[in-house]
């Protein structure tokens, strides 16, 4: 399994066990991870950012910082030891071995390299795919066709750190960054990249820089504990979120406190079955459009290794929303759920809302009449709401 490729949500480095201390999370995602006792790790995006930072520093100063520290999107400042380095007159290369923590991630132990070269003034930061990093060949992904498979958040992290290093040493920050992963093309055969049209290697991923380690039994137990904590705190409205982006969305929408947030991950069924036995007044389910389309189609385990986006199902929903047969046929053949959504948005067909409503109805069926009101919110990768149901 590669939890980065599968799109599992990220959280902060709060693994461990023991009694809750002052300042420790009372509920929510951090408390769930602490409860599992599993050690989090670093995404390929964090490793590439650290390697870029070290390489660019060496290019400007002649010395590689080792360990090299970076700042993650949520403010954590991990340090990484260098596993490889090379400095010439024209480029610098640094490599970081990815530590996925206790997650069964196929990229654990992979050597992520960044090679940095100066570019002419005004060129900005340009990304290249080196050996072991894939190239996007089909639409429907968060990057245009032809681009290296370095996702938007890691790109921004690298840009930010290049700018920071450039500011320290009076440089312009115009560089080419080539990211590579040793044996990445071979590793990628164990991921969904080839089916998604990402060819030649792995994707450089991560929205927070941190990999959440997943043991199914441990995480499901942590979901139950999260519900118990919310109920004990008197929370009548809780939210099951598939990751950090959806969590931010429900906080912005409803102002829910930490202890009302459940890191559902891929385990929608675990949340619904436990809430059925231990009801709260209201449950909001929030997640990425593609994941929640699986719930809408009746899947309770949203992991990409155990359920897939059914484009035929999406095509049928779109028909109900007014799509003609030509559009429905395009949806059925779309590369990804995101591509199907984009087709419908361009045509004015409310596929996001249709998926949210169907997912709500599936959730209510699992709840079997428990006194719990449910609503569903679908978001895209940036956290923009692309569909929602009413409360029922």
CB of 359 within 8 A of CB of 292? yes
Total-model pTM: 0.67
Based on the domain organization, do 194 and 227 belong to the same domain? no
Rounded to the nearest 10°, the torsion over CA 20, 24, 25, 31 is -50
Given 210, 235, 257, the domain boundary residue is 210
Asked whether residue 268 falls in the same domain as residue 297, the answer is yes
Residue 191 sits in the same domain as residue 260: no
Instruction: Examine the fold and report which residue of 210, 244, 272 is the final residue of a domain before the chain moves on.
Output: 210
Same domain, 265 and 196: no
Residue 5 lies in a domain: no
Inside any domain, residue 59: yes
Which pLDDT does position 10 carry in this prediction?
A: 30
Same domain, 268 and 168: no
Euclidean distance between CA atoms 223 and 220, whole angstroms: 5
Question: Looking at the domain assignment, is residue 77 inside a domain?
Answer: yes
**Containing domain of residue 100, as a range?**
41-210
Shared domain for 149 and 250, answered yes or no, is no
Say if residue 290 is in the same domain as residue 365. Answer: yes
Same domain, 63 and 188: yes
**Residues β-bridged to residue 180:** 113
| Same domain (yes/no): 243, 276 | yes
* Last-in-domain residue among 166, 187, 210: 210
For β-strands 84-87 and 91-97, DSSP reports them as antiparallel
Domain membership of residue 228 (yes or no) is yes
CATH number of the domain encompassing residue 48? 3.30.2110.10
At residue 16, the pLDDT reads 28
Confidence (pLDDT) at 3 = 44
Within a domain: 31 = no
* pLDDT reported for residue 17: 28
Domain assignment present for residue 169? The answer is yes
Kindly state whether residues 94 and 122 are assigned to the same domain: yes
Count: domains in the chain? 2
Exposure string over 38-61, b if 16+ CB within 10 A, otherwise e: bbbbbbbbbbbbbbbbbbbbbbbe
For residues 120 and 87, membership in a common domain is answered with: yes
Digits of tens for pLDDT over the chain (392 positions)? 344 433 323 333 332 223 333 355 666 666 666 777 778 899 999 999 999 999 999 999 999 999 999 999 989 999 999 999 999 999 999 999 999 887 767 899 999 999 999 999 999 999 999 999 999 998 888 899 999 999 999 999 999 999 999 999 999 999 999 999 999 999 999 887 887 889 999 999 988 898 876 667 777 877 888 898 899 889 999 999 998 899 999 999 999 998 899 989 889 999 999 999 999 999 999 999 999 999 999 999 887 667 889 999 999 999 999 999 999 999 999 999 999 999 999 999 999 999 999 999 999 999 999 999 999 999 998 899 999 999 99
Q: Are residues 380 and 304 in the same domain?
A: yes
347 within some domain: yes
Contact 9, 267 (CB under 8 A): no
10: in domain? no
């Amino acid at each position: 399994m590669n939890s980065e490729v599968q799109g599992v949500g990220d959280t902060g480095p709060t693994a461990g066990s023991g009694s809750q201390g002052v300042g420790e999370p009372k509920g929510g995602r951090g408390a769930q991870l602490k409860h599992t006792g599993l050690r989090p790790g670093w995404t390929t995006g964090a490793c590439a950012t650290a390697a870029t930072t070290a390489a660019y520093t060496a290019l400007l100063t002649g010395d590689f910082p080792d360990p090299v520290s970076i700042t993650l999107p949520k403010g954590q400042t991990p340090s990484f030891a260098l596993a490889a380095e090379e400095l010439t007159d024209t480029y610098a290369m640094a490599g970081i071995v990815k530590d996925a923590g206790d997650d069964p991630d196929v990229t654990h132990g992979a050597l992520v390299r960044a090679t940095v070269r100066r570019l002419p003034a005004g060129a900005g930061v340009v990304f290249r795919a080196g050996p072991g990093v894939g190239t996007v060949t089909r639409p429907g992904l968060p990057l245009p066709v032809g681009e290296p498979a370095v996702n938007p958040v890691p790109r921004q992290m690298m840009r930010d750190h290049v700018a920071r290093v450039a500011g320290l040493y009076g440089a312009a920050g115009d560089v080419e960054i080539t990211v590579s992963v040793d044996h990445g093309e071979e590793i990628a055969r164990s991921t969904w990249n080839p089916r998604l049209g990402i060819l030649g290697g792995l994707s450089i991923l991560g929205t927070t820089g941190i990999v959440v380690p997943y043991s199914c039994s441990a995480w499901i137990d942590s979901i139950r504990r999260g519900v118990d904590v919310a109920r004990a705190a008197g929370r009548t409205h809780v939210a099951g979120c598939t990751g950090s982006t959806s969590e931010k969305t429900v906080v912005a929408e409803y102002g829910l406190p930490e202890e009302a947030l459940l890191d559902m991950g891929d385990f929608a069924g675990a949340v619904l079955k436990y809430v059925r036995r231990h009801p709260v007044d209201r449950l909001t389910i929030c997640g990425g459009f593609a994941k929640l389309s699986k719930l809408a189609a009746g899947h309770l385990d949203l992991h990409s290794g155990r359920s897939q986006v059914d484009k035929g199902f999406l095509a049928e929903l779109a028909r109900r929303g007014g799509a003609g047969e030509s559009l429905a046929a395009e949806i059925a053949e779309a590369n990804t759920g995101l591509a199907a959504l984009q087709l419908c948005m361009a045509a004015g067909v409310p596929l996001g809302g249709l998926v949210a409503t169907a997912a709500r109805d599936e959730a209510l069926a699992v709840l079997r009449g428990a006194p719990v009101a449910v609503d569903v919110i679908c978001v895209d990768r940036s956290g923009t709401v692309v569909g929602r149901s009413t409360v029922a």
